[in-house]
Amino acid sequence: MANYNPVTQEILAELEKAAPGHVVTGADVNPDYSRDEMPIYGTRMPDVTIDAQSTEEVSAIMKICYEHNIPVTTRGAGTGLVGGCTPVCGGVVICTMRMNKILSYDLENFAVTVQPGVLLQQLADDALKHGCMYPPDPGEKMATLGGNVATNAGGMRAVKYGATRDYVRAMTVVLPNGEITRFGGTVSKTSSGYSLTNLIIGSEGTLGIITELTLKLIPAPQATVSLMAPFEDLEVCISAVPKFFMKHFRPQALEFFEKEILISSEEYLGKQVFPRKIDGTDVGAYLLVTFDGDSMDELDPIVESASEMLVEEGALDVLVADTAPKLKDIWATRSSFLEGIEEQTKLLDECDVVVPVNKIASYVAYVNDIKQNYDFEVKYFGHAGDGNLHIYACSTEMEEETFKKQVDQFLGALYQKTVELGGQISGEHGIGYGKVHFLESAMGPVNMELMRGIKKVFDPKLILNPGKVCMDLKSK
């Protein structure tokens, strides 16, 4: 582990000079800054927190921390799920939430420039006012765009539009030594050396601090229809998924889930939206699919043939949501699965493996098979369209230590199976702190050394977000 220095009164005075009025220390530090949404991976209070206001301020702070060898962790809204923004070595936390302005639209190039603290929902709503859509659509709408880029967040529409990575044109980055640099440009292609932009995307705050982003937009689709297909059981439901691609349907979103997870989300929101019975048959699982396009006339035939296919594949019926209130209801329910689970459980851990779409059914069968070996309850749902499964271990009765031990074995088995099937251990949540030891076994030593090499080029003193992604606390 790198040797870090404590934040002395002198250093504090320097920081206060660099960011006057925004430096908080000691008992005044907000405990929220000690964790993200997964405290199971540990919490740690930082010594200092700074709500940064500008690129220059971030740069000045980094220069001081670089010089004095102080660990720095950047955070946004703290909605991460792998302990990515937990300041595991203490030191300084830079929060970008106050840098929350949408700076400008470039509608000729379909681009928008934002500060990193702008929330996903804020941009989505604002872009619509300009007739545009920002396609990435992770479930957590209160996450910051800086955090979305740092984790290459995916979300529900990734099946048609891709993940956050596909929508980053350019960025301003402060390097660990305080230097300010700009990567990328408002262009639709580039073959200009290594893509530094793409190195920062998904680097989880370990290589540099994003202080400005230029993101790509698309013209907002004029028509959206969601279909809800209830199935008697999950197996039949999942086996319908690859058919969407074989028949070239191009859904905007394609999600599957079991009834139990739906019920906990509906209870959390206090509203029953999905039918639990169809013509007297109990529903076991649901497939939710969205199509978008320029007009309803364009979508009608697609919706009809997709519905026909779903019924052929065993759907009990196909229900249609094409009005704003209905669309809002079903997608709000879908977006609250995690909150629904969190509300009902004391101990929670999770993973978000991604496997080839045609392997989802066998992967789920494997999960069902091994879950009996553990004392916790296993719940899952998934972005069926891109093979990304969210699997949760939940318990209210178990001792924390036993829970953690069992979960570690459970995740180890899941990750091994993922790799066997040609998948990756995280589709969109990242590695953070919680999954570092699993990455090594999935990636192998050669790839890990490449990653560590990159880390050291950007951050030779290893001060930026230590203990994360490819470097555990013992790495040098």
Q: How far is the CB of 101 from other proteins (least distance, A)?
A: 22
Q: Does residue number 77 form part of the binding site for other proteins (CB under 8 A)?
A: no
- Per the CB < 8 A criterion, the answer to whether 72 and 61 are in contact is yes
Contact mark string toward other proteins, 286..305, x via CB under 8 A? --------------x--xx-
Per the listing, tokens 């962790």 go with 73
Out of 201, 273, 288, 348, the only residue in the binding site for other proteins (CB under 8 A) is 273
Beta-carbon count within 10 A of 131 CB: 11
> In terms of CB distance, is 323 or 402 closer to other proteins?
323
- Closer CB to other proteins, 199 or 302, in the complex: 302
Strand partners, 380: 391
Provide Rg for the chain, Cα atoms: 23
Compute how many other C-beta atoms are within 10 angstroms of the C-beta atom of residue 461. 18
Give the count of alpha carbons within 13 A of 33, CB side only: 27
Tokens of 313: 């594949």
Site membership for other proteins, residue 338 (CB under 8 A): no
SS (H, E, C) 293-361: ECCHHHHHHHHHHHHHHHHHCCCCCCEEECCHHHHHHHHHHHHCHHHHHHHHCCEEEEEECECCHHHHH
* 69: its two tokens: 């060898």
283 binds other proteins (CB under 8 A): no
Stretch near other proteins under the rule CB under 8 A, chosen from 181-189, 242-250, 267-275, 451-459? 267-275
Q: Beta strands 388-395 and 281-282: pairing type?
A: unpaired
In angstroms, how far apart are the furthest CA atoms of the chain? 73
Candidates 50, 145, 217, 228; binder of other proteins (CB under 8 A) is: 228
Query: CB of residue 318 vs other proteins: minimum separation in angstroms?
Result: 4
Closest contact distance (angstroms) between CB of 346 and other proteins is 30
Q: Number of residues in contact with other proteins, rule: CB under 8 A?
A: 21
| Minimum CB–partner distance for residue 321 and other proteins (Å) | 6
Nearer to other proteins, 92 or 225 (CB): 225
CB 406 within 8 A of CB 374: yes
> Using the rule CB under 8 A, is 171 a contact of other proteins?
no
Which range of residues in 99-107, 195-203, 245-253, 319-327 is near other proteins by CB under 8 A?
319-327
Rounded Cα gap, residues 467 and 24, in angstroms: 23
Cβ closest to other proteins, residue 66 vs residue 257: 257
The neighbour count for residue 460, using CB atoms within 10 Å, is 12
Residue type, 115: Q
Instruction: Give the one residue of 317, 339, 342, 377 binding other proteins; rule: CB under 8 A.
Output: 317
Near other proteins by CB under 8 A: residue from 318, 391, 442, 470:
318
217: number of Cβ within 10 Å:
22
Does the footprint of other proteins cover residue 453 (CB under 8 A)?
Answer: no
Which of 188, 190, 323, 447 is the binder for other proteins (CB under 8 A)?
323
Nearer to other proteins, 307 or 406 (CB): 307
Phi, psi angle pair for 72, to nearest 5°: -130, 130
Q: Rank residues 319 and 442 by Cβ distance to other proteins and give the closer one.
A: 319
Interface pick for other proteins out of 307, 333, 406, 465 (rule CB under 8 A): 307
* Residue 227 contacts other proteins per CB under 8 A: yes
Angle between helices 9-18 and 55-68 (to 10 degrees): 160
Does 312 help bind other proteins (rule: CB under 8 A)?
no
Positions in the binding site for other proteins (CB under 8 A): 227-228, 271-273, 275, 300, 303-304, 307, 317-326, 329
